[in-house]
Amino acid sequence: MSILKADEWAAKVIKQEEIDKYLVNGRDFIDEEVIYNKLYSNRKPDKQFIRDIIQKSLSITRLEPDETAALLNVKDEDLWEELYEAADKVKRKVYDNRIVFFAPLYCSNLCVNNCLYCGFRKENSEEKRRILNMEEIKKETEAVINEGHKRMIVVYGEHPLSDANYIAESIKAIYSVKKKAKHGYGNIRRVNVNAAPMSIADLRKLWEVGIGTYQVFQETYNHELYKKLHPSGPKSNYLWRLYSLHRAMDAGIDDVAIGALFGLYDWRFEVMGLLYHTIDLERQFNIGPHTISFPRLTPAAGSKLSTNSEYLVKDEEFKKLVTVLRLSVPYTGLIITAREKPEIRREVIKVGCTQTDASTKIDIGGYSENTNLQQKDKQQFMLGDTRSLDEVIRELAEMGLITSFCTAGYRCGRTGDKIMGLLKECIEGKFCKLNAVLTFREYLDDYASEETKIAGEKVLLKEIEEIKTIPFFQQHNLVEKFNQYYERVSNGERDLYL
């Protein structure tokens, strides 16, 4: 396709009426002056006020902007230790002791945008461009399944060749793949999508083919900086992107995911932006984001900004911002990715993360072509952790955490407001625990190395003993059914869930 035709397509992407319908008196929900004032007026928080905020979080109630701003201004390192501990308690209360795994699959790096921090940007002559066809997507999916994954997030550049129709076809292709395993077969049971903002009509196409969560990151919530970082293409429209998830809700996609790219602007401001984004989704749809992501800026081919930004986030600041997000929106999932180095992932998982990826390859075609080295000219950014799924699972097991590949909630109708209510009431985590054990049993029997299996069996035994003692399971007659399912899975049956 010629550049001219791609530009003509890009010029027609934005539908102004699908922005205006969500504005309040012609304004969006990010009031920068209000955010700066909140951060300033809460710059010296009282210790007791912080401890009261912790108790509110532990009651699984979303914090207000003043409360979040106060947490962001804590200077006392001993008080931060209390916050770290509380964040872990909140996560375990809502989601129990599990970490859900997924694999990203990059299908295309063609793009009509020119984001200054991104390797995919249109004017980056260093990037080698490629779009996968459906057969190649199936091969990539097979390779991902062979690692043991059950969830995938597919990623696309914004381009007419990777439009909503292409995305819908790729989702169907992924779901169609079944790969023989030691017992039965492996498959991808949940396909989430990270793609450009779309119209409601296009988003309905994704809903119709079974999209999981729809993920769009605002990158930065600062209006002026956003304009500078996105000089051309549909992504240059701040409001089109800001309301992408509102449109998804109207299209029927009730699991949406927000995020910011930390390192573009002040991290405290971006945390506040994510909170206000959550608040507006809840205000207009009574459902907040299913997950929040907080990727940090990492080196990208052809981008000086990716290594020279004045706002790069230090490791200790990163742990703090994740902690504040955990406490601010206690019922929402938090995703830490392989952008981060292993030692940082280990540390940050302890303050409330619920999902992560592993055996990650983000160069186009990287899984099936088995590329072992990162190829800067073929991927969007550089990864910090390229370990295999097996290695990361073993590390988490040694930390006492259970890996989950559960996709039960989505197939039982526990999505959108239903799952959000169950999370707030700390009920969904109970089902998470049961299904984590069942899917971890599958993984250990079908894919795990002997070393990982040894570490994993210890965690499984501990989880099963806990299940026997938790009153909720007795009260709802779940123990007997769980035991039956566990025995059936142990005997080779697959994809049983509660």
pLDDT, tens digit, 9 for 90 and up, residues 220-229: 999 999 999 9
Give the CA angle between residues 30, 31, 36 to the nearest 5°: 115
Instruction: For residue 274, give the 3-state DSSP assignment.
Output: helix
Question: From CA 376, how far away is CA 299, in angstroms rounded?
Answer: 9
Q: Beta partners for 291?
A: 257, 333
pLDDT digits (tens, 9 = 90+) for 163-220: 999 999 999 999 999 999 999 899 999 999 999 999 999 999 999 999 999 999 999 9
Boundary residue ending a domain (349, 376, 409): 409
Q: Would you say residue 2 has pLDDT above 70? A: no
In a domain, 416, yes or no: no
Answer positive or negative: Cα dihedral of 160, 163, 167, 173.
negative
In a domain, 418, yes or no: no
**Structure confidence at residue 38 (pLDDT):** 98
Average pLDDT estimate for 228-250: 97
Q: Which residue has the higher pLDDT, 472 or 414?
A: 472
Least confident of 64-73, 364-373, 421-430: 364-373
In a domain, 400, yes or no: yes
> Which ranges of 59-181 would DSSP assign to H, the alpha helix?
65-72, 77-95, 134-147, 164-175
Q: Which residue has the higher pLDDT, 102 or 429?
A: 102
Which of 210, 157, 204, 214 shows the shortest CA–CA distance to 188? 210
121 in the same domain as 47: no
In a domain, 469, yes or no: yes
Least confident of 34-43, 285-294, 303-312, 366-375: 366-375
114 in the same domain as 50: no
CA 142 to chain centre: 22
54 in the same domain as 22: no
Instruction: For residue 345, give the 3-state DSSP assignment.
Output: helix
354: CB partners within 8 A, 6+ apart: 91, 95, 98, 99, 100, 291, 333, 334, 335
> If pLDDT is split at 50, 70 and 90, which confidence band does 3 have?
low
Indicate the helix (H) or strand (E) that contains 152: strand 151-156
405 in the same domain as 277: yes
Q: Would you say residue 151 has pLDDT above 90? A: yes
455 in the same domain as 358: no
> If pLDDT is split at 50, 70 and 90, which confidence band does 380 have?
low
pLDDT digits (tens, 9 = 90+) for 486-496: 999 999 999 99
Specify whether the CB–CB gap between 166 and 154 falls below 8 A. Answer: no
Q: Which residue has the higher pLDDT, 303 or 258?
A: 258
Q: Would you say residue 310 has pLDDT above 60? A: yes
Specify whether the CB–CB gap between 430 and 467 falls below 8 A. Answer: no
> If pLDDT is split at 50, 70 and 90, which confidence band does 4 have?
low
In a domain, 245, yes or no: yes
Specify whether the CB–CB gap between 351 and 325 falls below 8 A. Answer: no
Residues spanned by the domain of 486: 425-490
Give the CA angle between residues 147, 453, 492 to the nearest 5°: 70
Q: What percent of the chain has pLDDT over 90?
A: 85
Mean pLDDT, rounded, of the chain? 94
Boundary residue ending a domain (409, 434, 456): 409
Q: What percent of the chain has pLDDT over 70?
A: 97
Which of 315, 454, 452, 458 shows the shortest CA–CA distance to 395? 452
Answer positive or negative: Cα dihedral of 461, 95, 194, 391.
negative
Specify whether the CB–CB gap between 127 and 302 falls below 8 A. Answer: yes
Which of 197, 211, 198, 225 shows the shortest CA–CA distance to 254? 211
Q: Would you say residue 409 has pLDDT above 90? A: no
433 in the same domain as 297: no
Longest CA–CA span in the chain (Å) reads: 65
In a domain, 72, yes or no: yes
Question: Which residue type is seen at 198?
Answer: M
Question: Quick count: other Cβ atoms within 10 Å of Cβ 251?
Answer: 21
**Structure confidence at residue 373 (pLDDT):** 64
Question: From CA 359, how far away is CA 424, in angstroms rounded?
Answer: 32
Average pLDDT estimate for 363-389: 80
Question: From CA 11, how far away is CA 19, in angstroms rounded?
Answer: 16
232 in the same domain as 319: yes
Q: Would you say residue 372 has pLDDT above 80? A: no
Average pLDDT estimate for 9-32: 97
Q: Which residue has the higher pLDDT, 411 or 373?
A: 411
Q: Would you say residue 442 has pLDDT above 70? A: yes
328 in the same domain as 194: yes
Boundary residue ending a domain (409, 443, 469): 409
Question: Residue 153 belongs to a domain with what CATH number?
Answer: 3.20.20.70
471 in the same domain as 439: yes
> Which ranges of 329-407 would DSSP assign to H, the alpha helix?
342-349, 389-398
Which of 330, 347, 486 shows the shortest CA–CA distance to 420? 330
User: What is the number of domains present in the chain?
Assistant: 3
464 in the same domain as 323: no
Could you give the dihedral angle defined by the CA atoms of residues 406, 329, 340 and 93, in that order, rounded to the nearest 10 degrees? -50
**Structure confidence at residue 367 (pLDDT):** 93
Question: From CA 454, how far away is CA 444, in angstroms rounded?
Answer: 9
Question: From CA 364, how far away is CA 377, in angstroms rounded?
Answer: 10
200 in the same domain as 74: no
**Structure confidence at residue 383 (pLDDT):** 86
Question: From CA 197, how far away is CA 240, in angstroms rounded?
Answer: 7
Average pLDDT estimate for 307-334: 96
Alpha-carbon distances, residue 380 vs 177, 193, 231 (angstroms): 26, 16, 18
In a domain, 415, yes or no: no
Alpha-carbon distances, residue 469 vs 99, 103, 434, 483 (angstroms): 22, 34, 13, 14
356 in the same domain as 261: yes
Question: Which residue type is seen at 153?
Answer: I
Specify whether the CB–CB gap between 194 and 40 falls below 8 A. Answer: no
In a domain, 419, yes or no: no
> If pLDDT is split at 50, 70 and 90, which confidence band does 125 have?
confident
**Structure confidence at residue 416 (pLDDT):** 75
